[in-house]
Structure formats: structure tokens, C-alpha cells
């Protein structure tokens, strides 16, 4: 089978590339499993100083794989997304995420769990869960601490699409730059990170992540259970099926 997540290591930067174009990098069971494997590999690579997450195509991530969610329970899937966020937050190397295209719903958990996020100024974002009879429960573990309370309330409740400038203002991303400058800025960020001592990077990241890790550990079970319950509801199944039918 063609792999959905690619790994590469160049000049101290371990790149993890999402490449599942058929469903816009939706967080399917297989993609998440391969993403875990790639993160394990970055931890094992002694020469890796920085982790860079990106997408092969324009769309970064469309969120949960609704075709899987509509067909069966999401107990395992919601817990996997909790673990994915925790793995990113507690990774021994700084995680930089490059966004060149849209991010929706569950994909924003990856964004919020990253240490530094650089996006092109034409990227759009949306917490679409409320429109599908769901709630951004699991990703709230990392997203809510990044946002102001007003920004969280407005974007979570409406499910509206917002742009890169708004995302930077509310703290969801680190920098929004012109599309033609995106790769240069990402290289610049990775280069600056590599100037730090590995122990300095590791310990500083752990220091910054303390409250986020504590939040994940204390609320993970409740948020995973809430998310699984909502995905399994008749209302959500009806909404997801209608959404999938509209896309056909």
C-alpha cells in the first residue's frame, strides 16, 4: 500500500509529510497510525533537532475521517487524537508545523499541539464540529489554551471559516506570511531552532508544556468520552451522512 505519511531527515530537520489526497488528509485510522510511527522515528533519530510537519498537497487536514466515523464508533479514534496531541506536546524536539492550505476541525488539534506554526496568508481555518452536531471536545485540550476566551467561544459556536490573519491574532498560529515567503520563513525558523543546544531545546520545551500536559492528562478521559458519545449520536450520524452525500 502507498504510505500516507512520509518521513525524511535533512540537515537536522525531521520532516513528516501528510499525503492522503483522496480524503484531504483526514485523520483516518491508518494515517494516524503512520503519523505515530513517524513521530517514534523522529525520537529515535539522534541527528534530528527539529520536527517539521507539513502536507504534500495544498490541504493540510480536513479533520476526522467522517466516512469512518459514520460507519462505526469513535471510541478508539477519539483516544488516538488525544494521544497524538500529547505526543506532539511532549516530544523531545520542537515541533514546527507548516500550513500552505486549509485546516478544519480535528486537524486544528495538530496545529495547537505544535510549538511553532507558520502559515501562508491565504490559509483558512474552521472548527466545523458544531455544524455536524458535534463539539470540538478532544482538540479543546490544546486549542483552548492557545486562544482568548472570546475567540474560542465565537469560532467554536459558529463554526465559521476564518483567515490566517485572524488565526495569528487569536494565537492559533505563530506567524502568517505571504505564500511566496512561506518556505523561506519555515527554513529560517528551523535554522534558528538548530542554533540552540539540544538540552536547552528539550528542557525549555518541557517547561513551556507543563500546564498543557497537565490539562491533557486531567481532562483527556472526559473529552474523549464526550467526543465518542457525540459521534455516536443519531443527530451526528444524520448530519455526517448528509455532509458526505453533499460531497459526492
CA atoms of 18 and 105, how far apart (whole Å): 16
State the pLDDT at residue 73: 67
CA atoms of 198 and 209, how far apart (whole Å): 16
CATH number assigned to the domain covering 5-181: 3.90.226.10
H-type helices in the chain, by residue range?
Answer: 29-44, 66-71, 75-90, 107-113, 140-146, 149-158, 164-170, 182-194, 198-231, 234-247
CA atoms of 137 and 159, how far apart (whole Å): 14
DSSP label at 42? H
State the pLDDT at residue 71: 72
Distance separating the N- and C-terminal Cα atoms of the chain: 25
The residue extents of the domains of the chain are 5-181
Helix, strand or coil for residue 220? Answer: helix
CA atoms of 29 and 64, how far apart (whole Å): 9
User: Within the chain, which residues score under 50 in pLDDT?
Assistant: none
Amino acid at each position: 500500500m502507498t504510505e500516507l505519511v512520509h518521513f525524511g531527515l535533512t540537515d537536522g530537520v525531521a520532516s513528516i509529510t501528510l499525503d492522503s489526497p483522496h480524503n484531504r488528509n483526514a485523520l483516518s485510522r491508518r494515517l494516524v497510525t503512520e503519523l505515530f510511527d513517524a513521530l517514534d522515528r523522529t525520537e529515535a533519530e539522534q541527528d534530528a533537532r527539529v520536527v517539521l510537519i507539513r502536507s504534500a498537497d495544498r490541504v493540510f487536514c480536513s479533520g476526522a475521517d467522517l466516512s469512518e466515523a459514520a460507519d462505526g464508533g469513535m471510541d478508539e479514534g477519539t483516544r488516538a487524537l488525544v494521544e497524538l496531541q500529547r505526543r506532539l506536546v511532549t516530544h523531545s524536539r520542537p515541533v514546527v508545523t507548516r500550513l500552505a492550505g486549509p485546516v478544519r476541525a480535528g486537524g486544528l488539534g495538530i496545529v495547537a499541539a505544535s510549538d511553532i506554526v507558520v502559515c501562508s496568508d491565504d490559509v483558512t481555518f474552521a472548527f466545523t464540529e458544531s455544524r455536524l452536531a458535534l463539539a470540538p471536545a478532544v482538540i479543546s485540550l490544546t486549542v483552548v489554551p492557545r486562544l482568548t476566551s472570546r475567540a474560542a467561544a465565537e469560532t467554536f459556536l459558529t463554526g465559521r471559516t476564518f483567515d490566517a490573519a485572524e488565526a495569528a491574532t487569536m494565537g492559533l498560529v505563530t506567524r502568517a506570511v505571504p505564500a511566496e515567503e512561506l518556505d523561506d520563513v519555515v527554513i529560517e525558523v528551523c535554522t534558528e531552532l538548530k542554533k540552540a543546544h539540544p538540552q536547552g531545546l528539550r528542557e525549555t520545551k518541557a517547561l513551556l508544556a507543563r500546564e498543557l500536559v497537565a490539562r491533557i492528562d486531567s481532562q483527556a478521559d472526559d473529552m474523549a468520552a464526550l467526543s465518542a458519545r457525540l459521534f455516536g449520536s443519531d443527530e451526528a450520524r444524520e448530519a455526517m451522512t448528509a455532509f458526505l452525500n453533499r460531497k459526492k
